[in-house]
Amino acid sequence: MRILIVEDENDLAYVLSETLRLEGYNTDIADNGEYGLDCALTRIYDLIILDVMLPKINEFEVLKQFRDANINSAVLMLTARSQIEDKVEGLDSGADDYLTKPFITKEFLARVRALCRRRPNEYISDKPQFGDIILDISHHELHCGDNRIMLSQKEYDIMELLILNKGKVIEKDSFITKIWGYETDVEYNSIEVYISFLRKKMKALNSAVSIQTSRGVGYFLSEDKNG
């Protein structure tokens, strides 16, 4: 899952980014509202963490433009303000949740998890499943019956994206932006390498699920119900 942090305090942005990375999230940072809006318009983010009191563009205007552009990413607003009027304005502008600084890390991560579970048009359980395979978020493992195998971070991210899209074809460009980020120079052969790793691991699990190729387009999960 990819999270955008729109925060002009560099130290705080770095701490939030590292905290989320340790929990298995992919993160990008924008240090002002204008750049944050440009990033959000790529539509690759599952969650946007938006600071109040941003330079260049007012945070409520940024949020309004998110929603006017039909960006459905969940939004968590961070603020040093405690006035109820500011919270009401943020929520009315399209924020999904509000957290007042200073906050403790456990509460921050709990809010992030809750918002990720409420992503539009998707149900995120603690163990996403497709066919006979289960993705164990806590341990970064793939399960099939009593068998289990550890996944690397990139393998985990790719498998999560495939499972959450329930057999839909994921284009190669989507893999790159969702897994490596918007400004990466990663090429298609990197995806192919990780797909190959995952196929070998799924075979080792004796799973009836396989990763299929839509030639020239991308990849999707398929289940052999007769297998």
pLDDT value, residue 40: 82
Cα-based distances in Å from 181 to 39, 54, 110, 135, 136: 10, 23, 24, 22, 23
Q: What is the pLDDT of residues 21-37, one digit of tens each?
A: 888 888 889 888 888 88
List where CATH 3.40.50.2300 sits in the chain. Answer: 2-117
Which pLDDT band holds residue 120 (cuts at 50, 70, 90)?
very low
In contact, 4 and 28? CB cutoff 8 Å: yes
| Range 108-124 average pLDDT | 72
Phi, psi of 134 (to 5 degrees): -130, 135
| Range 125-133 average pLDDT | 79
- Alpha carbons within 13 angstroms on the beta-carbon side of residue 109 total 13
Residue 121 predicted with pLDDT over 50: no
Q: What is the pLDDT of residues 69-105, one digit of tens each?
A: 777 788 998 887 666 666 777 777 778 888 888 889 9
List where CATH 1.10.10.10 sits in the chain. Answer: 129-223
Which pLDDT band holds residue 67 (cuts at 50, 70, 90)?
confident
Cα-based distances in Å from 60 to 91, 97, 125, 221: 10, 14, 31, 40
Distance CA 198, CA 196 (A): 5
Quick one: CATH architecture of 129-223? Orthogonal Bundle (1.10)
CA angle 154, 219, 164 (to 5 degrees): 65
CATH number of 2-117: 3.40.50.2300
Residue 166 predicted with pLDDT over 70: yes
Residue 156 predicted with pLDDT over 60: yes
Q: Any bridge partners for residue 5, and if so which?
A: 29, 49
- pTM strictly above 0.75: no
